[in-house]
Amino acid sequence: MSSSSFAFPLAPVQRYFGPATLDGGKTAKLKKRKAYLAVITRWLPAEDGDLFHAVHDDGDEEDLEEHEARKSGALYNRQPEAQRKKHEILCAKREKQLKAEAKARLP
């Protein structure tokens, strides 16, 4: 999987549900035989393939091309249900915290 810098839109971005739906934006990567789950937080449409930004549970971030995001989405779906449930809870907490921070910044 690639790890390069791309310019992404600054607007708040929901999980990607575009022409190439990626199962709710859930992905995973293998590092030293351990799967790290992630969520796609931003995407950038491009003529030669969309680009996706994933944030992993271990704090790592990476940019993925569409074929990489699809492959890592399939890896996510093969993970044990308990691990995916834990990831969902963590994502919900992060999302709640981000919403609270955004609300606190409003005038």
In terms of DSSP H, where are the helices of the chain?
A: 66-77, 81-105
Tell me the residue length of the chain. Answer: 107
Query: Which range of residues forms the domain containing residue 34?
Result: 23-105
| pLDDT at position 18 over 90 | no
pLDDT tens digit sequence for 87-98 = 889 888 888 887
d(CA 107, CA 86): 35
Residue 64 in any domain: the answer is yes
Q: Tens digits of per-residue pLDDT, 44-57?
A: 877 777 788 888 88
Q: What is the pTM of this model?
A: 0.67
Number of domains, the chain: 1
Structure tokens at 81: 């249900």
Q: Residue 31 has what pLDDT?
A: 82
Is 75 a domain residue? Answer: yes
- Residue 77 placed within a domain: yes
